[in-house]
Amino acid sequence: MVKKNTCVFISGKGSNLKSLILNTREYNFPINIKLVITNNPSAEGIIHAKKNNIPFLLINTKKNNFENIILNKIKEHKISLICLAGYMKIISKNFINNFRKKIINIHPSLLPKFKGLNTFERILKENEKKTGCTIHAIDEKLDAGKIINQKFFFINSNDTAKDLKNKTQKLEYRAFPEAIIKIYRYN
């Protein structure tokens, strides 16, 4: 099986990156991570790229042409899938049109509910009964592309925002690899 070359974009802790790297060790998992990109010089997640000898690119998003720099790197590494895993920058329409292959994102809510930031606080405020995570395709609209995979849990009455985050992230580590398997099984 020829694994698809994948690039993971991160801005923070990179626990989803770590979980994806672990999955790539399975011989029949459809992707290999060939590049990690971050916009944040202090992103803790860079450590996972370093430990696993995966090339990484720290990108200065203040430069006007930063997306072109990313596109060139991505071409160089023959990337056919981009996974946004806690990447805190919006991907431009121009980038999406130029890349032309698949971009997927993980979001910590049951989309279409609770798009955007501060999800856990808003979920508690709205007295939701359940929440979870979504992996979806990226199109030009924020958090609005086709849903590939979702997982949920029921919220306890004493759950705090931190509890919701912990429970959601545990689900994310299963939902993201499952979504990738789904994409390549049906394509």
Active site members: 107
Pair of tokens at residue 183: 């994409």
Query: From edge to edge, which strands make up the β-sheet containing 81-84?
Result: 56-58, 31-38, 4-10, 81-84, 102-107, 130-137, 147-154
From 4, 48, 102, 107, residue interacting with ligand GRF (rule: CB under 6 A): 107
Q: How far apart are CA 138 and CA 174, in angstroms?
A: 20
CA-wise closest residue to 38 among 61, 10, 72, 74: 10
User: Could you say whether residue 10 binds ligand GRF (CB under 6 A)?
Assistant: yes
Question: CA quadruple 68, 74, 78, 83: dihedral positive or negative?
Answer: negative
Site for ligand GRF in 17-76 (CB under 6 A): 45
Q: Which is nearer to ligand GRF, 59 or 106 (CB)?
A: 106
From 106, 123, 148, 180, residue interacting with ligand GRF (rule: CB under 6 A): 106
Binding window for ligand GRF (CB under 6 A); candidates: 28-36, 100-108, 120-128, 143-151: 100-108
From 122, 169, 174, 181, residue interacting with ligand GRF (rule: CB under 6 A): 169
β-bridge mates for residue 36, sequence order: 8, 56
Rg (CA), the chain: 16
Per-residue x/- marks for ligand GRF, 125-154, CB under 6 A? --------x---------------------
Residues of the shown chain interacting with ligand GRF in the complex, contacts defined by CB under 6 A? 10, 12-16, 45, 85-86, 106-108, 133, 169, 172
